[in-house]
Amino acid sequence: MNIDASHGCPTCKKLFKTKPGLLQHVAQSHPPTTVDPVTNQERPLFKFQCSVDYCRKVFATKARLTTHESEHAAGESKSQAAPFSKPKF
């Protein structure tokens, strides 16, 4: 056996060769949860994930995700073309 047990997933016991591999698995398969103070039930802490491949940030509310994604859109159109170049004076 040549598997480092320190990279075992504490939730599903899956083993990983590298720590980043384990962390990526945990983030994707076992998203952080929180206990709802009203219902006392566990629920996902972050439900809304950015659809941009290189980003994948997660947000607690849809509104924050929407705001974030619009920033991506604005940034991309800016880098493609700058139709309005504001004069400084």
CB of residue 42 to Zn ion, shortest distance in Å: 16
Binding site for Zn ion (CB under 5 A): 9, 11-12, 14, 29, 50, 52, 55, 57
Distances (CA, A) of 31 to 44, 47, 73: 7, 9, 26
CB of residue 2 to Zn ion, shortest distance in Å: 20
* Residue number with CB closer to Zn ion (55 or 63): 55
Q: Rounded CA gap, 43 and 37, in Å? A: 10
CB of residue 30 to Zn ion, shortest distance in Å: 5
* Residue number with CB closer to Zn ion (40 or 79): 79
- The owner of tokens 């073309």 is 81
Of 30, 29, 9, 28, the closest CA to residue 18 belongs to 9
